[in-house]
């Protein structure tokens, strides 16, 4: 329908023309052409499929004829091969005329439908036959000439397989493989018969080693022998090709074709033929016994087998022709269906278009006015009324009225949908409230989980503190036993228990470190670095394997970091002794860096750590938050290194694991300047008189060793440590002669610790003066005195004469008793501090170590 109406000369609109109908006719024609154009490709495709299937049927029928001709030509070839191998005897060529006539007859039938190339090859058969029968060629040459023609016939099956489309490519290679197998079976028969028909050559008398008699034996280099060997070798090769072709057939053929072939080629005759083939083709040459085989018997057995194989091949070719004929019929049916469908669609398109045009060319004015009226007031106007015939226009009117009624219904439904929308909004509001409630519950559960974790951590810390309190009490009991014990053996055992309790205390402190709780006492002043390192060595289980090589002179550690540093180094020493051979020492050394920092090194000679693992451990040491615990019962998590990382993080200490060239791992600890005080030691110098010379300037106690770069090495004598000596000669100590095995000194390495000198034989004659109170750094974080030598008073010291006793046990008791006396004096020095600590613990909740100790 046009958008604008033409106007007349007076300016009024002209009446409606019939151009609408013309346009509708054009639209019907266009729709018809579109339907035809859409259906044309499928018609062309169906026609092409029909042409292909018809060509396949023709080619399959040709293949069926070539199979029959190949069978006949194979029989003629085998007879000619046997005839030529026998020397072309006169009168024997009459048996070849019947196969030749059959071949000529089939060639004449096939020449009309055969392609030009195949027809040319078939035209050479008569000449080939004459050459073989009357010429001077050998049997293998005649057999090869016939085989070339047969191969041309079998090529039709391969061409058929190549041209078969994918929609019909079902076992298309099987007929060609079976044809080659049959042809090779026939060739094997002809070659074997020819080999058996070769007349014997020149013979000579030879002595039979078995019978001891002279027998006639054919010469190996005779022409007959060479001809026979050539034919038998060719027969063996043909049999091998037959088996290969049968294998190809088994792979290409379907289950039904394989079953039919297996059921056809079977029976006693086939078994007999297989026996002949196995016996006659096992070697390239025929033995003397095999040459005596009757050719007629072999021919009968092999021909029976070949006939069955040819029957299976012919049946397969016939089924293939039927399959392609069925394919052609299906293509014809498909083409007819497509033509009928396109014609029906064309008629349907024309009919629908014409009906639509008629329905639109009815009184449009009535429809336009009614529709305009309903469009202006669809809710109040009445439906369109039509008083004319009940034709297509009436249907349109009814449709319009139905549309009007549906519009009214939809209007009513829209009102109901508003109510539903309100209900949905209320539901969404309730869902939002439920969502908020769930979020509130999640927050409450999260808070409860955090409180629970805090409670568990609090209980964990509480239990750790109680365990430490019990260990401290255990240490106090052991020390009290040490003070009262006089037996050196028992005293050594008590020292071992004391050391084990110290190691257990360190493990308990590990729990508090892992829980994030700082549990240590700040020392009022700096602590010598050598004391810190000794305390670290005393806290590990295999302390006797640690050797302190060298430390910076006058090195001190801030009191607030001394305990944590000792704990940190103890964990590194524990790892070094655990992951190195038990007979190798662990080296602990340190030196001053140019920037004022101090670097400590813990070196072992173990198996080392792989680079990937070492990089991961260094990352965890640098960032303790990245620690991930490993599986239970394994060292994958590196718990000791994690504790070291946490302690180092508190004071800005850096730890790094490095690989050593000589093997093992070196743990390097860099102490920052923040924990290294620069104030000199507060103790006064001490002058020690040296026999035979002037007094020598020394520092008291541990400070003397702190200012020495090389610490004394451990000795293996029981209970003694090598001490630095003066250049002057010292009176040797007489060895003690043991009287009983029980009095032999303990050959056990002891910790490198400067024990007090042995007391005189009669200590009661000269009571020792009361020592001055020690500074606070001599007390451990658990309130016990450190196992370090006590700082001696400044002033001249009495030179004591070293004596050798007759009783080794008494000497050890005096030596260890001196150490216990020093420890006892240390406890008196810190009594005031312990009392002050106990007073502060009275106001605590009972969860500290001091509270548990009371």
pLDDT tens for each residue of 511-536: 888 877 777 667 788 999 999 999 89
Straight-line distance from the first to the last Cα atom of the chain, in angstroms, rounded to the nearest whole number: 111
Residues counted in the chain: 854
Give yes or no for residue 849 having a pLDDT over 80: no
Among 659, 661, 663, 625, smallest CA distance to 642 is for 625
Among 262, 307, 299, 261, smallest CA distance to 280 is for 299
Rounded CA separation 567/509 (Å): 9
Q: Which two tokens stand for residue 193?
A: 């018969």
Rounded CA separation 489/482 (Å): 11
Q: Which two tokens stand for residue 653?
A: 């200490």
Cα dihedral across residues 629, 631, 632, 637: positive or negative? negative
pLDDT at 547: 93
Strand partners, 598: 592, 671
CB 745 within 8 A of CB 718: yes
Q: φ, ψ for residue 598 (rounded to 5)?
A: -120, 130
pLDDT at 653: 93
Query: Could you report the per-residue pLDDT of 650-701, keeping only the tens digit for each?
Result: 899 999 999 988 888 999 999 999 998 877 655 444 443 433 343 333 333 3
Query: Could you report the per-residue pLDDT of 433-453, keeping only the tens digit for each?
Result: 999 999 899 988 888 887 776
Compute the average pLDDT of residues 726-733: 37
Give yes or no for residue 92 having a pLDDT over 50: yes
Rounded CA separation 604/580 (Å): 6
Rounded CA separation 687/696 (Å): 6
CB 506 within 8 A of CB 539: yes
Which of 383-397, 421-435, 489-503, 627-641 has maximum average pLDDT? Answer: 421-435
CB 613 within 8 A of CB 593: no
DSSP assignment of 135-187: S---HHHHHHHHHHHHHHHHHHHHHHHHH--GGG-SSTTHHHHHHHHHHHHHH
Burial 705-734 (b: 16+ CB within 10 A, else e): bbbeeebeebeeebbebeeeeeeeeeeeee
Give yes or no for residue 762 having a pLDDT over 60: no
Rounded CA separation 182/242 (Å): 7
Q: Mean pLDDT in the chain? A: 74
Query: Could you report the per-residue pLDDT of 255-272, keeping only the tens digit for each?
Result: 888 888 888 888 898 889
DSSP alpha helix (H) spans, 683-746? 701-706
**Helices 174-197 & 139-163 angle (0-180, nearest 10):** 170
Among 780, 224, 804, 825, smallest CA distance to 535 is for 780
Of residues 841 and 230, more confidence is placed in: 230
Half-sphere exposure of 187 (CA within 13 A, CB side): 31
Global pTM reads: 0.41
Banded model confidence at residue 735, pLDDT cuts 50, 70, 90: very low
pLDDT at 603: 92
Output DSSP code: residue 760: P
Of residues 613 and 694, more confidence is placed in: 613
Domain with CATH 3.30.565.10 in the chain: 525-626+637-680
Query: Could you report the per-residue pLDDT of 194-251, keeping only the tens digit for each?
Result: 888 888 755 555 566 767 665 555 555 567 778 888 888 998 999 999 899 889 888 8
CB 560 within 8 A of CB 530: no
Among the residue ranges 95-104, 363-372, 438-447, 654-663, the one predicted with the least confidence is 363-372
Of residues 94 and 486, more confidence is placed in: 486
Cα dihedral across residues 696, 699, 700, 705: positive or negative? negative
Distances in Å between the Cα of 426 and the Cα atoms of 421, 431, 434, 435 are 9, 9, 12, 14
Q: Quote the distance between the C-alpha of residue 11 and its chain's center.
A: 89
Rounded CA separation 298/269 (Å): 11
DSSP assignment of 514-578: HTT-------SS-EEHHHHHHHHHHTSTTGGGEEE----TT-EE-HHHHHHHHHHHHHHHHHHHH
> How many CB atoms lie under 10 A from the CB of residue 201?
16
Cα dihedral across residues 548, 553, 554, 558: positive or negative? negative
Give yes or no for residue 819 having a pLDDT over 50: no
- Pairing label, strands 654-659, 665-671: antiparallel
Rounded CA separation 716/447 (Å): 60
**CATH architecture assigned to 525-626+637-680:** 2-Layer Sandwich (3.30)
Among 517, 654, 666, 645, smallest CA distance to 589 is for 666
Strand partners, 599: 591, 670
Q: Which two tokens stand for residue 496?
A: 């071992």
Give the SS3 label for residue 705.
helix
Rounded CA separation 785/324 (Å): 109
CB 779 within 8 A of CB 827: no
pLDDT at 207: 63
Of residues 598 and 689, more confidence is placed in: 598
Distances in Å between the Cα of 291 and the Cα atoms of 188, 189, 229, 287 are 16, 15, 11, 6
Compute the average pLDDT of residues 137-143: 87
CB 620 within 8 A of CB 645: yes
Strand partners, 168: none
Burial bucket for residue 155 (CB in 10 Å: 0-12, 13-18, 19+): middle
CB 810 within 8 A of CB 759: no
Collect all residues with Cβ–Cβ distance below 8 Å to 719 and sequence separation of at least 6. Answer: 488, 492, 745, 746, 750, 812, 815, 816
Rounded CA separation 321/315 (Å): 10
Give yes or no for residue 708 having a pLDDT over 50: no
Of residues 380 and 279, more confidence is placed in: 279
Q: Would you put residue 152 in left (φ > 0), alpha (ψ -120 to 50) or beta? A: alpha
Give yes or no for residue 852 having a pLDDT over 60: no
Give the SS3 label for residue 657.
strand
DSSP H or E segment with residue 666 = strand 665-671
CB 665 within 8 A of CB 596: no
pLDDT at 503: 85
546-548 β-sheet, strand order:
546-548, 586-592, 598-603, 665-671, 654-659
Banded model confidence at residue 703, pLDDT cuts 50, 70, 90: very low
Among 335, 315, 326, 316, smallest CA distance to 53 is for 326
Q: Quote the distance between the C-alpha of residue 192 and its chain's center.
A: 60
Rounded CA separation 848/854 (Å): 10
Banded model confidence at residue 169, pLDDT cuts 50, 70, 90: low
Rounded CA separation 276/229 (Å): 17
Among 825, 734, 814, 732, smallest CA distance to 778 is for 825
Rounded CA separation 801/271 (Å): 117
Rounded CA separation 618/119 (Å): 88
pLDDT at 740: 38
Cα dihedral across residues 436, 438, 441, 447: positive or negative? negative
CB 494 within 8 A of CB 481: yes
């Amino acid at each position: 329908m046009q958008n604008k109406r033409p106007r007349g000369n007076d300016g009024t609109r002209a009446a409606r023309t019939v151009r609408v109908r013309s346009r509708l006719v054009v639209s019907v024609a266009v729709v018809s052409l579109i339907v035809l154009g859409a259906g044309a490709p499928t018609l062309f495709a169906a026609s092409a499929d029909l042409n292909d299937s018809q060509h396949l049927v023709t080619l399959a029928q040709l293949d069926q004829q070539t199979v029959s001709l190949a069978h006949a030509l194979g029989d003629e070839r085998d007879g000619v091969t046997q005839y030529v191998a026998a020397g072309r005897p006169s009168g024997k060529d009459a048996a070849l005329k019947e196969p030749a006539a059959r071949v000529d007859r089939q060639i004449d039938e096939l020449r009309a439908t055969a392609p030009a190339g195949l027809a040319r090859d078939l035209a050479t058969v008569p000449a080939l036959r004459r050459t073989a029968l009357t010429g001077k060629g050998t049997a293998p040459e005649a057999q090869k000439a016939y085989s070339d023609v047969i191969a041309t016939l079998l090529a039709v099956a391969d061409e058929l397989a190549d041209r078969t489309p994918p929609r019909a490519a079902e076992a298309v290679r099987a007929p060609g493989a079976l044809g080659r197998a049959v042809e090779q079976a026939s060739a094997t028969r002809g070659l074997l018969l020819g080999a058996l028909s070769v007349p014997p050559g020149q013979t000579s008398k030879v002595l039979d080693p078995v019978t001891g008699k002279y027998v006639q034996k054919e010469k190996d280099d005779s022409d007959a022998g060479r001809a026979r060997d050539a034919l038998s070798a060719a027969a063996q090769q043909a049999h091998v090709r037959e088996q290969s072709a049968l294998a190809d057939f088994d792979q290409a053929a379907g289950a039904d074709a394989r079953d039919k072939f297996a059921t056809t080629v079977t029976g006693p005759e086939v078994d007999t033929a297989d026996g002949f083939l196995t016996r006659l083709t096992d070697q390239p040459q025929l033995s003397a016994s095999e040459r005596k085989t009757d050719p007629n018997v072999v021919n009968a057995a092999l021909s029976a087998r070949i006939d069955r194989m040819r029957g299976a091949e012919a049946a397969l070719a016939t089924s293939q022709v039927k399959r392609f004929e069925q394919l052609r019929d299906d293509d014809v049916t498909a083409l007819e269906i497509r033509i009928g469908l396109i014609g029906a669609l064309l008629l349907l398109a024309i009919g629908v278009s014409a009906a639509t045009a008629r329905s639109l060319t009815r009184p449009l004015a009535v429809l336009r006015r009614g529709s305009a009226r309903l469009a202006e007031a669809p809710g109040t106007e009445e439906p369109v009324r039509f008083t004319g015939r009940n034709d297509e226009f009436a249907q349109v009117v009814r449709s319009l009225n139905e549309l009007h009624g549906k519009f009214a219904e939809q209007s009513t439904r829209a009102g109901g949908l508003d109510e539903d929308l309100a209900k949905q909004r209320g539901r969404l509001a309730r869902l939002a409230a439920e969502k908020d409630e769930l979020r509130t519950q999640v927050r409450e559960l999260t808070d409860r989980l955090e409180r629970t974790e805090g409670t568990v951590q609090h209980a964990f810390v509480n239990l750790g503190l109680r365990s430490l309190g019990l260990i401290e009490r255990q240490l106090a009991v052991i020390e009290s036993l040490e003070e009262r014990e006089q037996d050196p053996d028992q005293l050594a055992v008590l020292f071992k228990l004391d050391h084990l309790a110290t190691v257990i205390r360190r493990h308990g402190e590990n729990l508090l470190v892992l829980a994030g709780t700082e549990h240590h006492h700040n020392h009022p002043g700096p602590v010598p670095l050598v004391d810190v390192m000794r305390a670290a060595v005393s806290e590990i289980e295999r302390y006797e394997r640690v050797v302190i090589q060298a430390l910076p002179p006058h090195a001190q550690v801030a009191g607030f970091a001394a305990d944590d540093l000792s704990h940190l180094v103890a964990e590194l020493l524990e790892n070094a002794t655990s992951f190195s051979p038990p007979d190798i020492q662990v080296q602990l050394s340190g030196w001053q860096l140019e920037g004022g920092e101090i670097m400590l090194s813990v070196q072992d000679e173990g198996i080392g750590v792989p680079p990937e693992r070492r990089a991961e451990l260094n990352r965890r040491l640098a960032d303790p938050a990245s620690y991930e615990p490993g599986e239970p019962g394994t060292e994958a998590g590196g718990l000791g290194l994690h504790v070291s990382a946490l302690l180092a993080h508190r004071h800005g200490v850096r730890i790094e694991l490095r690989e050593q060239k000589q093997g093992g791992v070196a743990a390097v600890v860099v102490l920052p300047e923040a924990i290294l005080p620069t104030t000199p030691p507060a103790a006064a110098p001490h002058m020690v008189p040296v026999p035979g010379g002037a007094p020598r300037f020394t520092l008291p106690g541990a400070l003397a060793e702190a200012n020495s770069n090389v610490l004394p090495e451990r000795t293996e004598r029981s209970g003694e440590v090598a001490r630095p000596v003066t250049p002057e000669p010292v009176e040797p100590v007489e060895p003690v002669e043991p009287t009983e095995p029980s009095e032999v000194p303990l050959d056990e390495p002891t910790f490198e610790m400067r024990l007090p000198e042995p007391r005189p034989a009669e200590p009661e004659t000269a009571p020792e003066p009361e020592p001055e109170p020690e500074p606070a750094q001599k007390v451990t974080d658990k309130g016990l005195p450190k196992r370090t030598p006590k700082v001696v008073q400044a002033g001249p010291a009495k030179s004591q004469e070293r004596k050798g006793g007759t009783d080794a046990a008494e000497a050890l008791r005096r030596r260890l008793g001196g150490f216990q006396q020093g420890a006892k004096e240390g406890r008196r020095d810190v009594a005031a501090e312990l009392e002050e600590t106990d007073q502060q613990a009275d106001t605590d909740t009972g969860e500290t170590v001091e509270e548990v100790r009371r």
